[in-house]
Structure 1
Amino acid sequence: MIENIIQELDFRIVTLKELKKKPSFMSRNDKKFIVPETMLPSILTYLQRSFQILSVDGKKIQTYKNVYYDTDNLRCAKDHFRGKRPRLKFRKRNYLLTGESFWEIKRKSARGRMEKSREVVEGEVDGCPDFFSVAKDNEKLFCSLVNRYLRSSFYDFTSCEKVTIDLDLSIYDDGRFISLLKGFAIVEVKGEHFLQSMFCRFLKERAIYPINFSKYCYGIGTLNPNLFPEKRKMITRYLNKKNRNYE
């Protein structure tokens, strides 16, 4: 559905080459929203006014695959569930369309700002890379989750704002990928000036509010139902409410 809508709206394009000359959004504030897929036509129509869409080799939707790393007792996930700051996440991000891969560390500061650092994956690595050596007390990290989703990325360079829309989130378990959040999209706004963000106001006017959500933690909670089950129930109640509101 989203591909047809994007095609019909005729977005202005930004390429990967052009992005290298623009703000990287590696250091930013961000907000996440979970919206019913039925809202995507109105959201995309709004974005088309002032946002450009990333096109990679002519494709406006890219497939992302993330491999997350955590400690034996899932400290990174638990820190997020508890709202601890500062906190860290470790992953390898694979862009399946281009074949590029990066080691990434995401830091959530005490003030809630996201700082991301990355390093190109070169060759085969046995275990975790030295890039992850910032793990607290030299704790050993292991592969804790693999997820996959489709993403479209939109940029408004005038307001220095980036919006991503993620669909078809799935996690790998027991030899297969399991779909999560069917019928919903994850919308993330990344930038500096949310009080002036017209897009955030647009969502608020439609009773869509920010939610504390992590694709990694939601996946971990799915695989480990006894790990902070009240958090997963909260997300489930939220989704059920949105379904009723937009039926």
Structure 2
Amino acid sequence: MAAQFITPTIVQKIGLYESISLAEMDGVKLMNRIDAKFLVPLKMLPNLLEDLRPHYRLLEINGHRMCDYETLYFDTPDLQFYHDHQSGRLNRYKIRQRNYVHTNTVFTEVKFKNNKGRTIKTRILNPKLINSTLSSETKVFLSQQTPFDPTILAPILWVDYTRLTLVSRTTAERLTLDLNLSFRNGKSHKSYEQLVVAEVKQDSLKQSRFLDLMKKYRLREGSLSKYCLGVISLDKTVKHNRFKAKLNHVLKINSRGISSADYSHPPV
């Protein structure tokens, strides 16, 4: 999935990292965590990778450091999961099937954001590739993990991206940098080649070199899930008042002509 915009400079910076394996990452799965998202212009990525390198190792899987992800999100016919987020509701869910391409594994995953700001993820291994028809085993799992009837869930949105996963050398912290982000739903397609979605994940938000750098670069935390961004990117008629400022900021970053002054104070 790596594309032309991933420049030789970015590839060179990635190659300088000390690697970490999936087995070595077992201690930082962080299935129950606090997380924070940042929207970063791609042009800042080389400097960010350089600044982060002394403090993090980079996940490598079967020789790949840029790992492709393919995800299918499910929702109710009236998009309840999306609207729960758009309205700012606490205790909300996301349901997805995700293909971790370079390990050739597929999981059905439930993400629950509780009223204390914690993200709790549960998942079940799929024996086959992503399927828009949920298996009986998957329906049982979803019935156990959510209050929703799995028979009414429908496939809504495909999300594809390339991920760099960094692991702190000193604390239980993971940092994901998602590039080459694109959305599709069978009718429309939208991509954001100039955007990096950065997310820091910890048991509780504390000292972090990445968070220090966000202050240095004057980038503020701004939570906008990839699912919600995809929904509003492909359907301009869906209500998105709460996300309007963030969507405009994403579009500005992706326009290539953004200046440092433009991204100094993104919306919170």
So what's the TM-score if we normalise by structure 1?
Answer: 0.90
More off after superposition, 222-231 vs 143-152? 222-231
RMSD of equivalent CA atoms: 2.0
The C-alpha deviation readout for 1:36-69, integer Å capped at 9, x for no partner, is: 1111111101211110100001110000000111
Match of 2:134 among 102, 127, 131: 127
Q: How does 1:49-88 map to 2 (within 5 A)?
A: 49-88=54-93
What is the alpha-carbon distance in structure 1 between the residues aligned to residue 29 and residue 118 of structure 2? 15
Alignment-mate amino acid for residue 203 of structure 2: E
Question: Aligned residues: percent identity?
Answer: 28
Alignment-mate amino acid for residue 71 of structure 1: T
What is the alpha-carbon distance in structure 2 between the residues aligned to residue 137 and residue 19 of structure 1? 32
| 2:167 equivalent in structure 1 | 155
1:208, distance to aligned residue in structure 2 (A): 0.5
Alignment-mate amino acid for residue 244 of structure 1: S
Q: Which consecutive segments of 4 or more residues in structure 1 shift more than 4 A?
A: none
The C-alpha deviation readout for 1:126-181, integer Å capped at 9, x for no partner, is: 435222114435262111111100001000152211111001111123367x3432
What is the alpha-carbon distance in structure 1 between the residues aligned to residue 250 and residue 149 of structure 2? 38
Alignment-mate amino acid for residue 92 of structure 1: Q
What is the alpha-carbon distance in structure 2 between the residues aligned to residue 135 and residue 199 of structure 1? 33
**Structure 1 residues 17, 118: closer, same or farther in 2, change over 3 A?**
same
More off after superposition, 140-149 vs 222-231? 222-231
What is the alpha-carbon distance in structure 1 between the residues aligned to residue 159 and residue 250 of structure 2? 20
Q: How does 1:79-158 map to 2 (within 5 A)?
A: 79-123=84-128, 126-127=133-134, 129=138, 130-133=140-143, 134-138=145-149, 140-158=152-170
Q: Secondary structure, in 3 states, of the residue corresponding to 2:192?
A: coil
What is the alpha-carbon distance in structure 2 between the residues aligned to residue 182 and residue 229 of structure 1? 22
Match of 2:222 among 211, 214, 233: 211
Q: Secondary structure, in 3 states, of the residue corresponding to 1:4?
A: helix
Q: Secondary structure, in 3 states, of the residue corresponding to 2:222?
A: coil
More off after superposition, 121-130 vs 64-73? 121-130
